Amino acid sequence: MTPVLAVTNLTKRFGAFTAVDDVSFEIAAGASVGIVGESGSGKTTLARMIIGLETPTTGSISCCGNDRSAPARSTRARRARARETQIVFQDPYASLDPHQTVRQALTEAASLHIADRRDSEARVRELADLVAIDERQLASVPKHLSGGQRQRVAIARALAAGPRVLVLDESVAALDVSIQAQILNLLADIRDRTGISYLFISHDLAVIRQVTEYSIVMRTGVVVERGDTETLLRTPAHPYTQALLASVPRPGWKPSRKERSDRDAPDTD
Ligand SMILES: Nc1ncnc2c1ncn2[C@@H]1O[C@H](COP(=O)(O)OP(=O)(O)OP(=O)(O)O)[C@@H](O)[C@H]1O
C-alpha cells in the first residue's frame, strides 16, 4: 500500500552544520509514528521540512503521493498541501491570534478550504464537537481558556483543512500530566474517528509509548534506532536509546541533591 507520507534520504544543512542527516521513513494511512530524541537532535527541523516551513538541502518528501520537496509555487498549491498535512506546536498561545474568538479562528481556517459559508459553519460545529469545545469556549478569546482548552483549539484549527497527516511537535509537553492524558486520549479518539495519521515528535518516552505504534530515535540529526514502539522501549538496542530510557523518572524516583538545588535555584533569564 502507498504510504501517506514518505521521507527519503532527507538532509538539512545550516551552513556547515548538518541538523538532519539522511533520514528516511514512511507512515501508512491511519498509523502513528513517533520521533524521539533529546533537544537539538533535529526533530523540529525534520517537522518543519515536512510541512514546508524549511526546504530540504537534499532528499525528498512525498505526501499523499505528491512530491513536496520544493516550496509550493502558488496559493493554490499551498492550500492543496495544507489539506495533506498540518502541524500542532507546543505552545498554542503563540500560534493563536489573541484578538480572535475560537469561533472566528476556526471559521477562518475552515473557509480557506470550504467555499460555501454555511458549509464552513457546519464544519466549525463538527470540529468543536471533535475536540469537545463547548459554545462558551467557542465565544472566548484564547486568554480566557486553559492551556488544555487552547491546545484543543489548536488541534481543531489544524484539522479544519481535513489533513491526512498531523504532525504534533511536543504538542503536550507544556501541559500538566492529567491534562496531557486528556489530550492524548482525544488524539487517539480523533484518529479512530477520522483515520488520520500522526507524526508524533516528543522527548517524552511515556507519551510516545502511549500514542505511537512505531518509533524512530534521532541523535544529532541521525536515526540511531527504529522499530515497533513497545519492543524498542522494552529492549532498546542502541546505547543512546538505553540512555534516554534510563533518564526517565520512575515511580518512587527522587531527584538527587544536585537536581533539587538546580530545580530550586531562581531563574536567571
Ligand atoms: N535556522 C537554523 N539555523 C542554524 N541552525 C539551526 C536552525 N534551526 C535549527 N538549527 C540547529 O539544528 C539543530 C537541531 O535543531 P532542532 O530544533 O531541529 O532540534 P530538536 O530535536 O527539535 O530540539 P528541541 O526539542 O530543543 O527543539 C540544533 O543544533 C539547532 O541549533
Distance 42 CA to ligand 1 centre (A): 6
ipTM reported for the complex surpasses 0.90? yes
13: three-class secondary structure by DSSP: strand
Give residue-wise pLDDT tens across range 174-219: 888 889 999 999 999 999 999 999 999 998 888 999 999 999 999 9
The protein residue with its alpha carbon nearest to ligand 1, atom 6, reads 14
Q: Which atom of ligand 1 is nearest to the CA of 17?
A: 5
Give residue-wise pLDDT tens across range 228-246: 999 999 999 999 999 988 8
H helix runs in 88-228, sequence order:
92-95, 102-111, 117-130, 135-138, 147-159, 177-194, 205-211
Domain residue spans of the chain: 5-84+163-264, 94-162
Backbone φ, ψ for residue 28 (5° rounding): -80, 160
* Range 5-84+163-264: architecture per CATH: 3-Layer(aba) Sandwich (3.40)
Alpha-carbon distance of 109 to 151, in angstroms, equals 15
The protein residue with its alpha carbon nearest to ligand 1, atom 16, reads 42
Amino acid at 238: H
In this structure, how many other beta carbons lie within 10 angstroms of the beta carbon of residue 148?
18
Give residue-wise pLDDT tens across range 87-133: 999 887 787 899 999 999 999 999 888 777 778 888 999 999 999 99
Alpha-carbon distance of 159 to 119, in angstroms, equals 15
Residue ranges lining ligand 1, Cβ < 6 Å = 14, 17, 19, 37, 39-45, 203
